[in-house]
């Protein structure tokens, strides 16, 4: 995943920002504990969101303090890794592995050297994560194969292409130990978050994909030859993205959670919209390159 | 029965006005009209029932917004074509949530009229394929501009987007004026679709 799912910091209270940090560091510790320090380099906000949502079902959870590489002097407060954090860690290892595989396939031999190296280093970690989540790994494999076919046929349906990644993310709900009702809701909510991530990432990659003559669902949908989107095309994209975010939020409102409602609301209603705007006006990539 | 205070999310010493205000907010959020053709519609309905019961047990009446169900697929609507039976069947599948059957029946029809486009849009919508849903709804509206059901389906998507976008207002905190305007607007939309948000108008 790509780090698109994050809160809008300016709208977040200090307390909530601290709590988000605690979960972020908790996931980092979960990765280190199960997979070693190297894997914690792949930590990102999308997986933190996953961990946050899974942790929100529990009323309490132990918070510890420890020094680490990024906070060597005072240490950081972190959520003690438990089932929901380890699950997020397993999922992140599997998805990171497949993302690197994707890079190797898409880029030239020399450009993909780093990705090839990383795959070699993390292969054993991936095998370990796969042992924890065999069904999820199978789903990821199947959905990515479907996506590969769609790419080769240059399908012009955004929905068809986004459906693969949306189903993949949606299937994570099955792995968490939830009531049937919550599992159903979470699966629907994650479908729309997955759809959002896929479409926003496709908009972000539009220019690069056109230059390298790679499949891009947005380019295929509007038969684009340049990355400049017309007003109509932008409105169409905003409409469909907003409707996914609206559906994810409606689903979330039905979820029986015990805490962190304000942070999740911030992400769903403000964070994701801010990210969409940044990607749409081209400031997202610039911010990342700085 | 669950603790009504917990269900409504109010403290035990909340005043009647506070309870009423919270109830109104919750009723607006979980109103069946916000979950039309949504796979989670049954859960929203359940939630609405719990809220109504909690409100009734605290204030002694069932409130203004007791709803029995959202907008359902009206099987009474029969298009006047040779395919009307098959379309009624497709509608029945959609309302039962059997999207795969509905879709395969739709794909077997070669004569594609406005009704076909509308139902194809509905199936896409249920799957979360919103770009295709919108395109099919638009085609249905263009083919049969006088059909309110088709138009409502399209307007519903815009309305939900607007509700989502205006959450908390531009700088967090919706002004009283916006809130009323939205409520009245939502009420008008609901009435069009057979529901009612403000019972007196």
Q: What is the pLDDT of residue A252?
A: 96
- Say whether residue B2 is in contact with chain A using an 8 A CB cutoff: no
Specify burial of residue B174 (Cβ count, 10 A radius: 0-12, 13-18, 19+): middle
Confidence of residue A108 (pLDDT cuts 50, 70, 90): confident
Confidence of residue B193 (pLDDT cuts 50, 70, 90): very low
CA distance linking residue A218 with residue A20, whole number of Å:
33
Q: Looking at beta carbons, which residues of chain B come within 8 Å of A188?
A: 39-40
User: What 3-state class would DSSP assign to A167?
Assistant: helix
- Say whether residue B127 is in contact with chain A using an 8 A CB cutoff: yes
| Beta carbon pairs, A and B, within 8 Å | 77
Closest CA to B80 of B147, B157, B170: B147
Q: Is the pLDDT assigned to residue B75 strictly greater than 50?
A: no
Between CA B135 and CA B140, with CA B137 as vertex, the angle to 5 degrees is 110
pLDDT digits (tens, 9 = 90+) for B162-187: 999 988 654 433 444 444 444 444 44
Of residues A68 and B12, more confidence is placed in B12
CA distance linking residue B191 with residue B187, whole number of Å:
6
DSSP A271: I
Q: How far is B57 from chain A (nearest CA, A)?
A: 22
From the list B35, B40, B131, the residue facing A158 with the nearest CB is: B131
From the list B39, B129, B164, the residue facing A188 with the nearest CB is: B39
Q: Is the pLDDT assigned to residue B192 strictly greater than 80?
A: no
Q: Tokens at residue A116, please?
A: 């090839």
Q: Is the pLDDT assigned to residue B92 strictly greater than 50?
A: yes
State mean pLDDT over B146-161. Answer: 95
CA distance linking residue A116 with residue A136, whole number of Å:
23
Q: Looking at beta carbons, which residues of chain A come within 8 Å of B45?
A: none
Q: Looking at beta carbons, which residues of chain B come within 8 Å of A240?
A: 130-131, 134
Cβ distance B165 to A244 less than 8 Å, yes or no, reads: no
Q: How far is A234 from chain B (nearest CA, A)?
A: 13
User: What 3-state class would DSSP assign to B69?
Assistant: coil
Residues 6+ apart with CB under 8 A from B6: none
Predicted TM-score (pTM) of this structure: 0.88
State mean pLDDT over B107-135. Answer: 95
Q: Is the pLDDT assigned to residue A224 strictly greater than 50?
A: yes
CA distance linking residue B136 with residue B120, whole number of Å:
7
Q: Looking at beta carbons, which residues of chain A come within 8 Å of B172?
A: 11
Q: Is the pLDDT assigned to residue A290 strictly greater than 70?
A: no
State mean pLDDT over B77-105. Answer: 83
Q: What is the pLDDT of residue A80?
A: 86
State mean pLDDT over B108-121. Answer: 94
Which contiguous run of DSSP H or E holds residue B16? helix B16-29
Q: Does residue A31 contact residue A92 with C-beta atoms inside 8 Å?
A: yes
CA distance linking residue A167 with residue A143, whole number of Å:
8
- Quickly tell me which residue has 């006088």 as its tokens: B146
Q: What is the pLDDT of residue B168?
A: 66
Q: Looking at beta carbons, which residues of chain A come within 8 Å of B34?
A: 250
Cβ distance B35 to A250 less than 8 Å, yes or no, reads: yes
**CB neighbours (10 Å) of residue B18?**
13
pLDDT digits (tens, 9 = 90+) for B8-48: 988 888 888 999 999 999 999 999 999 999 999 999 999 99
Q: What is the pLDDT of residue B176?
A: 42
Q: Is the pLDDT assigned to residue B74 strictly greater than 70?
A: no
Helix axes A231-254, B41-59, angle to 10 degrees: 50
Between CA A30 and CA A33, with CA A31 as vertex, the angle to 5 degrees is 65
The ipTM (two decimal places) reads 0.92
Computed over every residue of chain A, the mean pLDDT equals: 91
Following CA atoms A59, A65, A71, A73 in sequence, which dihedral angle do they give, to the nearest 10 degrees? 150
């Amino acid at each position: 995943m790509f780090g698109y799912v994050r809160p809008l910091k300016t709208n977040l209270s200090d307390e909530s920002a601290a709590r988000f940090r605690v979960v972020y560091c908790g996931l980092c510790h979960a990765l280190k504990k199960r997979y070693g320090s190297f894997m914690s380099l792949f930590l990102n906000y999308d997986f933190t969101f996953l961990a946050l949502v899974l942790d929100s079902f529990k009323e309490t959870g132990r918070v510890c303090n420890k020094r680490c590489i990024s906070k060597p002097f005072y240490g950081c407060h972190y959520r003690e890794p438990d089932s929901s954090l380890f699950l997020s860690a397993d999922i992140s290892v599997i998805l990171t592995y497949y993302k690197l595989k994707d890079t190797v396939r898409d880029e030239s031999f020399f450009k993909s050297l780093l990705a090839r190296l990383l795959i070699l280093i993390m292969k054993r970690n991936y095998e370990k994560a796969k042992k924890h989540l065999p069904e999820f790994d199978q789903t990821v494999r199947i959905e990515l194969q479907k996506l590969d076919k769609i790419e080769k046929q240059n399908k012009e349906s955004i929905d068809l292409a986004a459906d693969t990644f949306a189903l993949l993310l949606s299937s994570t709900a099955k792995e968490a130990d939830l009531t049937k009702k919550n599992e159903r809701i979470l699966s629907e909510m994650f479908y729309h978050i997955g759809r959002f991530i896929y479409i926003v990432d496709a908009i972000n990659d539009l220019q690069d994909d056109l230059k390298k003559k790679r499949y891009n669902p947005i380019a295929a949908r509007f038969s684009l030859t340049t990355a400049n989107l017309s007003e109509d095309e932008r409105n169409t994209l905003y409409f469909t993205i907003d409707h996914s975010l609206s559906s994810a939020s409606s689903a979330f409102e039905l979820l029986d959670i015990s805490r962190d409602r304000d942070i999740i609301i911030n992400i769903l209603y403000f964070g994701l919209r801010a990210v969409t705007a940044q990607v749409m006006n081209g400031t997202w990539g610039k911010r990342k390159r700085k | 029965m669950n603790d009504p205070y917990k269900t409504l999310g109010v403290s035990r010493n909340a005043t009647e006005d506070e309870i009423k205000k919270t109830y109104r907010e919750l009723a607006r959020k979980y109103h069946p009209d916000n979950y039309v053709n949504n796979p989670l519609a049954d859960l929203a309905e359940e939630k609405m029932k719990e809220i109504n019961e909690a409100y009734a047990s605290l204030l002694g009446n069932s409130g203004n917004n007791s709803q029995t169900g959202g907008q359902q697929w009206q099987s009474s609507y029969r298009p006047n074509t040779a395919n009307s039976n098959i379309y009624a069947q497709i509608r029945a599948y959609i309302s039962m949530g059997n999207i795969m059957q509905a879709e395969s029946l739709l794909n077997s029809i070669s004569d594609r009229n406005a009704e076909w486009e509308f139902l194809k849009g509905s199936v896409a919508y249920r799957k979360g394929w919103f770009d295709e849903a919108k395109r099919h709804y638009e085609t249905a509206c263009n083919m049969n501009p006088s059909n309110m059901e088709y138009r409502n389906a399209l307007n519903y998507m815009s309305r939900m987007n607007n509700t989502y976008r205006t959450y908390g207002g531009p700088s967090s905190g919706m002004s009283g004026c916006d809130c009323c305007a939205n409520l009245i607007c939502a009420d008008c939309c609901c009435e069009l679709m057979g529901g009612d948000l403000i019972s007196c108008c």
